[in-house]
Amino acid sequence: MASARHLLAGLVAALVAIGAGWALAPVAQAAAGCAVDYTVNQWSGGFTANVRVSPGSAAVTGWTVTWAYPGDSRITSAWNAQVTQTGTAVTATNLAWNGSIPANGAAEFGVQGTFVSGNGAPTGFTLNGVPCNGGATPTTPPSPTPTPTPTPTPSPGTGCGTGTVLCDDFESQTGTAPAGAWAVSSQDCSGLGTATVDSSAAHSGTRSIKVTGAAGYCNHVFIRTVPGAFSFGRFYVRHTTALPAAHVTFLAMRDTNDGNTDLRMGGQNAALQWNRQSDDATLPEQSPAGVALSRPLPLNAWTCVEFRVDGAGQLQTWVDGAEVTGLRVDGVPTPDVDRQWLTKTWRPALTDFRLGWEGYGDGADTLWYDDVALGASRIGC
């Protein structure tokens, strides 16, 4: 993500490089000035972290990033990198597609893990063996210091900003059955799935929607609303079972420009995905490289999911504020990502919004939803 600061930094670095007469050809070594930003999202016993690696003024054609945890943090999965851990030492290596980072560019990957006694800030970041963040030894605190944010639950009353066509924290629900703007929906058939107003878990206030979803299509259940036009959405979800290998859906939206079929967000191969019911196209493509560009949802933690779906066929997805690169349709076919999606012209017109659970074979989950917002611009977490 380019920023004015990064552009300025890049310009300064380029001028310095020219002035010093340095070679600008790509090299595999990391130059001094590499930086690793480690941003953690932590809850009781678990965490995810986004890791952004910048080589500095010299490009790299492959990268290995290492760090050490001071506590007993244990990585359980990763995306956009091959990650191994021995004791407290972690080694992350690029995948085939993201090894090259241009001068003053950056690559991002993520990890998910657990801990028992503590999940302290990692130290001793290196890129291709070179200490980063200005640190000479692992005992020197990196600068800028990675800043863990131990805030598992944002404060109640998460806002919706202005201009939303829907902003609901479910606090006005007084019964067990969702009412007002919402109704329980199970098209075609219904079975074991249930969706109720619940007070055992809430992201804001004391109420949320609890969905008990069972395997098998007819056990699907959603809460449905028919809002005004929207191209951005935000909701918080807390689920209890990892996304399965089988295809599942937890968000469905009717597309009147696509034969009144559903645009679906859910999971497959243990990672988030979008699915277009009309032709069963998936985003990302379900190749190993495609799946690696998506990510799982954190378990037993409120997670902020945001999306953009506009009438021009652009689609973007964010989890806890970070864009998921495998969940982006940008109009330029990218192998493993949106190549399959772009094989037909898609100009969505979404006319309803349904949160719940729908499995097609395997896949059951109990999950909660709260703080839903839909609008014409990005709402944020």
Binding residues for Ca ion (CB under 5 A): 169-170, 202, 204-205, 207, 370
Cβ proximity to Ca ion, 49 vs 202, nearer residue: 202
Residue 268, both tokens: 């497959």
Distance CA 345, CA 244 (A): 30
Distances from the Cα of 235 to the Cαs of 88, 186, 222, 318, 321, in angstroms?
35, 20, 14, 11, 12
Phi and psi at residue 231, in whole multiples of 5°?
Answer: -130, -5
Cβ proximity to Ca ion, 198 vs 306, nearer residue: 198
The answer to whether residues 268 and 247 touch, using CB atoms and an 8 Å cutoff, is yes
Cβ proximity to Ca ion, 202 vs 322, nearer residue: 202
- Shortest distance, CB of residue 331 to Ca ion, whole angstroms? 37
- Shortest distance, CB of residue 371 to Ca ion, whole angstroms? 6
The answer to whether residues 112 and 76 touch, using CB atoms and an 8 Å cutoff, is yes
Name the residue with tokens 């968000």.
251
- Shortest distance, CB of residue 339 to Ca ion, whole angstroms? 39
- Shortest distance, CB of residue 241 to Ca ion, whole angstroms? 22
User: What residue type is 279 in one-letter code?
Assistant: D
The answer to whether residues 322 and 316 touch, using CB atoms and an 8 Å cutoff, is no
Cβ proximity to Ca ion, 108 vs 370, nearer residue: 370
Please state the three-class secondary structure of 65-134 as a single string.
EEEECCCCCEEEEEECCEEEEECCEEEEECCCCCCCECCCCCEEEEEEEECCCCCCCCEEEEECCEECCC
- Shortest distance, CB of residue 69 to Ca ion, whole angstroms? 34
Query: For residue 283, which of 269, 300, 302, 298 has the smallest C-alpha distance?
Result: 269
Cβ proximity to Ca ion, 206 vs 343, nearer residue: 206
Cβ proximity to Ca ion, 117 vs 200, nearer residue: 200
Cβ proximity to Ca ion, 204 vs 212, nearer residue: 204
- Shortest distance, CB of residue 63 to Ca ion, whole angstroms? 42
- Shortest distance, CB of residue 321 to Ca ion, whole angstroms? 20
- Shortest distance, CB of residue 184 to Ca ion, whole angstroms? 18
**Element spanning 11, H or E:** helix 4-20
Q: Dihedral, CA atoms, 139, 144, 150, 152, nearest 10 degrees?
A: -140
Q: Dihedral, CA atoms, 185, 190, 194, 196, nearest 10 degrees?
A: 30
Q: For residue 155, what are the contacts with CB-CB under 8 A and spacing of at least 6?
A: none
- Shortest distance, CB of residue 203 to Ca ion, whole angstroms? 6
Cβ proximity to Ca ion, 198 vs 358, nearer residue: 198
Look at residue 289 and give its three-state secondary structure.
helix
Cβ proximity to Ca ion, 45 vs 159, nearer residue: 159
